[in-house]
Amino acid sequence: MKLVIVYLVASVGLVAETVLYQAAAIHTADRGTIENGQLLVQGNRILAVGKQVQAPPNTKTVNLGELQLYPGLIAAATSLGLTEINAVRATQDTTEVGEFTPDVEAWISVNPDSELIPVARANGYTHALVAPLGGVVTGNSGLIKTSGWGVEDMTVKPRAALHIMWPVLSINPVPKSALRNPEKFKSPKDQAREREKKLRTLDQFFDQAEAYAKAREAHGDQEDFNTVPAWEGTLEAIGGRQPIMVHANYERQITSAVAWAKRRGYRIIIAAGLDAWRVADLLAKEKVPVVLDNVFRLPQRDTDSHEVNFRAANVLHKAGVKVVHSVRMGNWGATEVRNITYAAARSMAYGLPRETALQSITLHPAEILGVEKQLGSLTAGKEATFIAVDGDLFDIRSNVKHMWIAGKPVSLESRHTRLYEKYKNRPKPKAVQR
């Protein structure tokens, strides 16, 4: 009898705590906004969201007053955790050597102690897609959460997407006499041949990858099959279980990549996408989402209006393209993650609907990365990952006050807050007697 009692007590102790959060507004990202709403959480899951939620007995109530709840924000295609100080080469780990390195997995190189991760977290970003740079096929990106004990604990999806830096297809018409270094001159004909060679090489690479996949499947679980890490890194992408994120800015690049993916039967995402708005109808027809990282960039053509990049997201949205906001990768990319929200806000100011702007940094990145059943919206059954903001998320004056990842409260402390605390009560300097 004593043993039974002990077991029952232990079982009760395992029941996760149920918490009812009350807020001035709950922005669900999939079902609009609930004014004076309630969010019921048990352990790491959302049980219910609504105006009046039926809570079970012994539920803890947390009244957040005038704060507003949003889903945790997701930064797509970043260098967060891979780069720290631009001037210190030892802190740069964004790029692998070689043109074709599909076996690279970016999450492995994430520095969990990066000072830039807490800064992104303090601005509402609970997750980030960390992607490799380099040659043509750069490797696999990993989806990480911005809090955790070490990189293994932080990694949510080690292989979220395979990345390709699409070859530049434009031809430079500048004559030899106008070049600073005439030795580097290439005729338009030579440039065209070089361009075609790059595309052929890319095709040949994936031909070999598909041949390897067929051979691997034919061998089944036989131990005598010699696996090749490079080809192993392509299996999920060519099998359709993983998207291929194609980094391409210019119209010719984008149309070429879309045609290539259609011919080969691959599922792609266009990243960067400076000219994506120019081929919005094509992208909508082929159901190709776009990760925009060019909102705060000057127009690239003299004929473009000054606000062309501000309007790009809405042009894509109106055509039926799923839009995600992000920032450019590379040395400065990690520091700019905190500004992704304001890129979405700028697009909203130029026509993008508010709900779509919110989805562009929550639900849409979750969908394109295949984690929409867990993240991206405040929906019953999903992971309890959300933030509390003291105003409109898109207002630069608003601040993230609280964050929960999988039901657990997360510290918003960063180097910025530590420096603020250090210097806010700094004593006034005394006059030096000479």
- Asked if 136 and 158 count as a contact pair (C-beta separation under 8 A), the reply is no
Same domain, 291 and 255: yes
pLDDT of residue 4: 41
pLDDT of residue 99: 93
Element (H, E) at 298: none
CA distance 424 to 101: 48
Residues 6+ apart with CB under 8 A from 15: none
Question: 148: closest CA among 121, 183, 170?
Answer: 121
Same domain, 286 and 409: no
Q: How many domains does the chain have?
A: 2
pLDDT, averaged in runs of 10, over the chain (434 residues): 39 71 98 97 97 94 98 96 81 85 94 94 97 94 95 96 89 66 69 82 96 89 82 94 96 96 97 96 98 91 92 98 93 87 97 98 98 98 98 96 97 91 85 73
Same domain, 209 and 239: yes
Element (H, E) at 211: helix 188-219
Question: Is residue 434 domain-resident?
Answer: no
Question: Is residue 432 domain-resident?
Answer: no
Question: Is residue 90 domain-resident?
Answer: yes
Same domain, 51 and 112: no
Question: Is residue 394 domain-resident?
Answer: yes
Q: Would you give the distance in Å from CA 311 to the centre of its chain?
A: 21
pLDDT of residue 373: 97
Question: Is residue 332 domain-resident?
Answer: yes
Same domain, 148 and 256: yes
Task: Give first-to-last CA distance, the chain, whole Å.
Answer: 85
Same domain, 409 and 272: no
Question: Is residue 5 domain-resident?
Answer: no
* Domain membership of residue 238 as a residue range: 73-375
Backbone angles phi, psi at 278, to 5 degrees: -70, -25
Q: Global pTM?
A: 0.91
pLDDT of residue 358: 98
CATH number for the domain including 386?
Answer: 2.30.40.10
Same domain, 406 and 324: no
pLDDT of residue 208: 96
CATH number for the domain including 243?
Answer: 3.20.20.140
pLDDT of residue 176: 60
pLDDT of residue 235: 95
